[in-house]
Structure 1
């Protein structure tokens, strides 16, 4: 049995409750996949996107939804060894993936060597979105998970002074495509466990930021959350829930009724 077949099998069995059921919950609750959709799955080569590919393959296999799916990957400047490992994983996991080059890292680090993350993320999104639209897909699926949502919430609060997070379904700025995140209920620890069980050696990011050579705000938030969890194991769930339970009556600057309502009064 191929590694790809084993990986699919374990999603429905050993990880049915922790992964498959949570994937399906998000798909149904947020109406992420509809009949007639043409969905591109963004594949970075890391553990999250590889799992997302297998989830879509499994959903496609049971034919509960009538949709098309394809797997695409942008090479932002990976080294030869990283690319070799990526392609090896794709082959072993039986994931047919189109890879296209974009020299994002070189440009981002040239513009801002110490803090290139913002520009890098913006450029990667732009290039990927344009490619998806060019290929004629109406949805792009990304592998952001539960922990990403929690961390993004705190990053925005601590460093951007705003209350917002990653949401499961959102239109692209062009309006031509919808971004979906079917793994928002899946915990990172369960993705790691799944990857280890199936002996999947996900490709490292290859980026010096993620490798710890340069400070990373996300890394700081991860460490903070880990320390908070020692005292309150439910802290991440509370933060996640808070983004679904915002009480606008108690948000500074919010006024009940809009300007038009007041003028009519």
Structure 2
């Protein structure tokens, strides 16, 4: 990668943008509190490397003090380069643990050849990481999912699961014991690709699922990437919609009390406007502003993670 003054300038802009977007997500969802111990899950991919890098940058100056424990699950995939992550993490002088669990053999034994392995692999990995977080006193588990992952999950659930459900930036685990955070929730995947190149992260490919070209997620990813090229701003608008939900204009009777609806009732989001076209010309998109804001909140963040420590 060239290191001309122009490239250095662009790289610095990228780092500042990523730091700002991660800080904004942490603030908006109050992901990190004073005294937290964050377990950062590393897969060896670009996203988790970037997550660790940016959290380490924030840790140095944030107004709250938090610990970081980097954790990698060695799933015993054939040919997995076991030395790469320990060497990299040691060079950063960051506390880390490498957990060895042969989930690869389990997945290959249970899933028939040619079938998608991601579901079972994910469940096995999640259970192990929850256990490790508890054993090490971690108060939060940080995952490297980004904005594109969140939108892909939204469409996967709509197209194949019949649910209007995405991947939340902050989540309580099924057993209620763990808080999962996704600090990259506002970050574009293409920015992470570029960041990984500038930082020369030692990327480790996943041989278990990398040979599954017909995954439903890949189909959705290709669709969104095509939309992004053809219709600039559409991806930003869709993500903004996840932050601006109007239950009275959907059809979930558990989410909105349609039975109790009465004449003359004032709804918090207005009445029968099927498509709010009249508001769009005067409303800048996230792509235009470059900022992500909570669209319908009156609660101010308690702590701004981007403030300098005094």
Where relative contact order (Cα < 8 A, 6+ residues apart) is larger, the structure is 2
* Residues 150/261 of structure 1: CA separation in 2 closer, same or farther (3 Å cut): closer
3-state SS in 2 of match to 1:238: helix
1:71 and 2:70 matched: yes
SS of the equivalent of 1:129 reads helix
Instruction: Name the structure 1 match of 2:231.
Output: 232
CA contact (8 A) 2:44 2:202 kept: no
1:82 aligns with 2:81: yes
CA deviation string 1:223-262 (max 9, x = no partner)? 1112222321222222212222222112224274388999
The two structures have a TM-score, normalised by structure 2, of 0.74
Q: Residue 163 of structure 1 aligns with which residue?
A: 164
Higher helix share: 1
Q: Is the 8 A contact 1:168 1:182 kept in 2?
A: yes
| CA-to-aligned-CA distance 1:97-142 (integer Å, 9 cap, x gap) | 2101112222122212312221111111111111111221111011
The answer as to 2:185 corresponding to 1:175 is no
Deviations 1:33-87 (A, max 9, x none): 0012121111111111111111121122114212222111111223344323333
- 5 Å-filtered alignment, 1:65-214, equals 65-113=64-112, 114-207=115-208, 209=209, 211-213=210-212
Q: Please, which runs of 5 or more residues in structure 1 have no aligned partner? A: 1-8
In structure 2, the partner of 1:20 is: 19
Coordinate RMSD, CA, aligned: 2.6
Q: Secondary structure at the match of 1:26?
A: helix
Q: Would the alpha carbon gap of residues 11 and 61 (structure 1) be closer, same or farther in structure 2, given more than 3 Å must change?
A: farther
Shift in Å, 1:212: 3.0
What are structure 2's unaligned runs of at least 5 residues? Answer: 1-7, 263-310
Q: How many angstroms apart in 2 are the aligned matches of 1:193 and 1:56?
A: 18
Question: Partners of 1:229 and 1:40 in 2: how far apart?
Answer: 33
Q: TM-score, normalised by structure 1?
A: 0.85
Aligned ranges 1:12-51 → 2 under 5 Å: 13-51=12-50
SS in 2 for 1:165: coil
CA contact (8 A) 1:139 1:178 kept: yes
Residues 1:257 and 2:257 are matched in the alignment: yes
How many residues get paired?
252
Contact 2:74 2:101 in 1 (8 A): yes
Displacement after TM superposition at 1:151 (Å): 0.8
Distance 2:260 2:35 in 1: 40
